Amino acid sequence: MDFDLSDDDRSLADGMRRLCTGRFPLEQLRRSEGRRSLDRAGWSVLAEAGVFSLRLAPSAGGAGLGTAQASVVFEELGRALVPGPVAATHVAAAMVEGAATGERTVGLLPRPGWGGPGGGPSLPAMVGDLGSLDCLLVVDGDAVELVETGELDGEPVEGLDPLTPMWFVAEIPRGAAVGAAAAAEAIWRDHLVLSGALLVGMAASTSDMAVEYAKVRQQFDRPIGAFQAVKHMCADMLVRTELCRAAVHAAAVAVDQPEVGDSVRAAAGAAMLAAQAADANARACIQVYGGMGFTWEVPAHLYLTRARVISQFLGSSGALADVVAGRF
Amino acid sequence: MDLRYSQSEEAFRAELRSWLAEVVPVLPPRPSPHDWPARRAFDTAWQKMLYDAGYAGIDWPVQGGGRGASPVEQLVYLEELERAHAPYVGVNFVGLLHAGPTIVVEGTPEQRARFLPPILRGDEVWCQGFSEPDAGSDLASLRTRAVRHGDDYVVTGTKIWTSHAEVADCCELLVRTSDEGPKHKGITWLIMPMDAPGIEIRPLRTISGSSEFAELFLDGVRVPVANRVGAENDGWRVTMVTLSFERGTAFVGELLETMELLRRLKVSARRSGAWDEGEVRHRVGQMGAELDALWALARRNISQATRTGVPGTGASVFKLAFSELRQRVAQLGMDLLGPAGLSTDELPSADGGEPLGNGALVELWLNAFNRTIAAGTSQIQRNIVAERILGLPKA
Ligand SMILES: Cc1cc2nc3c(=O)[nH]c(=O)nc-3n(C[C@H](O)[C@H](O)[C@H](O)COP(=O)(O)OP(=O)(O)OC[C@H]3O[C@@H](n4cnc5c(N)ncnc54)[C@H](O)[C@@H]3O)c2cc1C
């Protein structure tokens, strides 16, 4: 048993962080605020870096790595707020031709009204990045269906997250069945784990931002981080981050090593905690920044709204808690 | 990242599991939590059994007489003890988890030979005399004074919250030996025999009605200089060694116990119908996920300790999150009991079957309040996390 990150895991994370700060720096992402289409060149860069194909076997063009390694990579994507359906396209890689190579962009939705694990939102559905999606995987307890986006009648709306354009969709048609119940469960579970990893990175990022600011912002002749009210908020941010990171990594390992425990319970619990941490840390970050935190300029709100976008498709805290409770 | 146990770890588990299956079912009945002499007898008899079977001081180095198990084996050990519903360390806590390891690291060869074997065999029980009425969170401001007289220190002062003092043989005692310089530079770590003349023990009643801890009045107590661990005025550093043990794997057994408690609460909620309320299920799911996360964090901390040789700062994060979660699990237990939680006497269950276990649950709920106070309050833990891990400035 060695649950620490290995040296390889660490260099994978470092490499992904370098790629993100080099190719997707936040100042540059922010220049496309309000955009309605995905940066396809950037998407290809992610594909070339192996973001979508990481877990495929080398014979299928992948790196043959595990979900644990994927979670390390996705934490960095979350930290950098890299836009687009990265987790959905990754879990679709083995099922949808062209997803792994970045040629096809794939979204993922729970079948509206499905009350199963996670219990997704009901109709009318909101679909992010619809204009740039090639197809959608629609999952419920029985099957995975592939819906071509041409068949969807979507109405563009102004999105809450300035980096995720939104479409309002009144109806999700049935699609071609591409997987049965077991595949549906695995896709749903892996999507929870990788979305959880994105949210861990976001929670870590707002925690870092708040701590840095608390060290430099001076009031009453001292850094605000010397005041316990601020200090304790920061400590709680770290606790939330560390807990959900350990939970997401354990869920990822449970996917790779089924003998160590119930991966569905682990995935649902980890995604729930990560969603809560990303939300709570973004809120605390806004508060630590004071008036600056309420400005468009400080990116804390981007983390707040992105967390909402991601967690909306994982199911409510209550629905995820139900999954854990049933299996505890 | 690998959560599978190695072959040797699994072999250790199998050997321990079969021993526990043999001995735990035939242990005598557990004594009342309020009968301290009986608790001492029970806990030390169990320690003797561990000793005879080669499991005493599982985490102590071999040169200290322990088993020298790896941190992962310690984890397996705690997992198996919990699984078998084996007794807890109880009154052996301070000896096995504080004083013993400190003497292993900081003691002289004579001190190791004199004090370590009786701890491992369950012959001697220890208590911790750190806190004082005016020195709690601010431990370094302690005032109990020790003045050198020939081969002895003469100790005068008051200690408080001393757990298990009534049944202890030895006390790890912090005393002031100098007023010069910073206050943490004038502290010395002594081993005080509890039968020395001049010690008065006054039990304090806790909110659960037990006499878990006591006040110690020390009036000219003579402690041999040979019982000093570390140099004079170097006791603060020695203390930091002790506290790093306290915040290491000490809470893992209790985490596993809390998971078991939540599972039991689920079973009783199912039986009573409370499970049909979404709120109860959501609380179980939320706390279940947090317990799973803490179990993952514990394994991460232990893996890092294996790599670096010392428990890392992750221990403060763990202590902070776990102590508050334990209180919430206990609170769910009380909420499920409803009016039955108003009685500390055992009540029959509604269907006339097994007793409800309400008395034990009420006691557990009350005792959970001490988790955010003992071993560093949650506020102090937040200061530690913010200042030592995040690097935020001191007030
Ligand atoms: C069940 C139990 C067993 C114990 N066993 C032992 C034992 O065997 N031996 C022993 O030596 N001690 C023992 N203790 C004592 C324990 O270590 C102290 O109670 C603890 O360190 C707090 O000190 P205090 O009680 O004096 O509270 P105080 O330090 O007076 O704290 C009171 C309140 O003020 C807050 N506070 C204090 N300082 C700060 C600060 N800087 N920032 C923010 N908030 C602050 C605290 O968080 C707390 O809420 C035990 C305590 C309990 C509850």
pLDDT tens-digit readout, A106-122 = 999 988 877 666 555 66
**Does B357 or A115 have the greater pLDDT score?**
B357
On whether any CB of chain B is under 8 Å from the CB of A273, the answer is: yes
Interatomic CA distance for residues B292 and B318, integer angstroms: 12
Residue with the bigger pLDDT between B249 and B247: it is B249
CB A266 to CB B282 under 8 A?
A: no
Burial label for B148, CB within 10 Å (0-12, 13-18, 19+), is exposed
Any catalytic annotation for residue B246? yes
Taking only residues 25 to 84 of chain B, the set having a beta carbon closer than 8 angstroms to any beta carbon of chain A reads 72, 75
Contact A269/B288 with Cβ under 8 angstroms?
A: yes
Which residues of chain A from 49 to 68 reach within 8 Å of chain B, CB to CB? 68
Contact present, A184 and A143 (Cβ < 8 Å) = yes
What percent of chain B is predicted at pLDDT more than 90? 80
What mean pLDDT comes out for the span B332-356? 86
Output DSSP code: residue B169: S
Count of CB pairs separated by less than 8 Å, A with B: 182
CB contact under 8 A, B297 and A268: no
- Does residue A65 carry a pLDDT above 70? yes
* Cβ contact B163:B95 at 8 Å: no
Q: At what angle do helices B314-337 and B358-368 cross, to 10 degrees?
A: 140
Min CA distance, B176 vs chain A (Å)?
29
Mean pLDDT, to the nearest integer, of A96-109?
96
Mean local confidence (pLDDT), A158-171: 94
Smallest CA–CA separation between A246 and chain B, in Å? 5
Judging contacts by C-beta atoms under 8 Å, the chain B residues touching residue A268 are 289
Question: How high is the pLDDT of residue A113?
Answer: 78
Residue A243 contacts B, CB cutoff 8 Å: yes
CATH no. of A7-180: 1.10.540.10
Residue A172 phi, psi (nearest 5): -110, 110
Average pLDDT on B129-153 reads 97
ipTM, 2 decimals? 0.96
Please give the distance, rounded to the nearest whole angstrom, from the Cα atom of residue B127 to the centre of ligand 1. 16
Say if residue B395's pLDDT is above 90: no
Residue B71's pLDDT is what?
A: 84
- What 3-state DSSP class applies to B173? strand
Apex B94 CA angle, B88 and B96, nearest 5: 65
In the prediction, which pLDDT does B385 show? 95
Rg (CA), chain A: 19
- Spell out the domain ranges in chain A: 7-180, 183-326
Identify the weakest region by mean pLDDT among A231-235, B159-163, B184-188, B344-348.
Answer: B344-348
- pTM here is 0.96
A323/B285 CB distance under 8 A? yes
**What single letter denotes the amino acid at residue A165?**
P
**Which residue owns the Cα nearest ligand 1 atom 43?**
B379
Mean pLDDT, chain B, integer: 93
Angle at Cα A17 formed by Cα A14 and Cα A21, nearest 5°?
140
Interval B196-234: pLDDT, tens:
999 999 999 999 988 889 999 999 999 999 999 999 999
Query: For position A8, what pLDDT does the model report?
Result: 97
pLDDT in tens, B61-86: 888 888 888 888 989 999 999 999 99
Please judge whether B288 and A324 are an interchain contact, meaning their C-beta atoms are less than 8 angstroms apart.
yes
Choose among B319, B340, B209: nearest CA to B268.
B340
Question: B236 with B140: CB under 8 angstroms?
Answer: yes
pLDDT computed for residue B14 by the predictor: 98
* Domain positions in chain B: 7-88, 127-232, 251-389
Say if ligand 1 is within 6 A of residue B42 CB: no
Does A243 sit within 8 Å of B294, measured CB to CB?
yes
| Mean pLDDT, residues A208-221 taken together | 98
Architecture, CATH, for domain A183-326 = Up-down Bundle (1.20)
CATH 3.40.1360.10 fits B127-232, yes or no: no
Whole-number Å distance, alpha carbon B373 to ligand 1 midpoint, is 5
Q: Is B130 in the pocket of ligand 1 (CB under 6 A)?
A: yes
> A234, B386: Cβ pair inside 8 Å?
yes
The domain covering B251-389 belongs, at the CATH homologous superfamily level, to Butyryl-CoA Dehydrogenase, subunit A, domain 3 (1.20.140.10)
CA geometry: angle B289, B290, B296, nearest 5 deg: 90
Q: How far is A56 from chain B (nearest CA, A)?
A: 19
| Stretch A300-325: mean pLDDT | 93
* % pLDDT > 90, chain A: 89
B2 CB near a chain A CB, below 8 Å? yes
How close is the Cα of B229 to the center of ligand 1, in Å? 24
Q: Which chain B residues have a beta carbon less than 8 Å from that of A1?
A: 2-6, 9, 72, 75, 299, 303
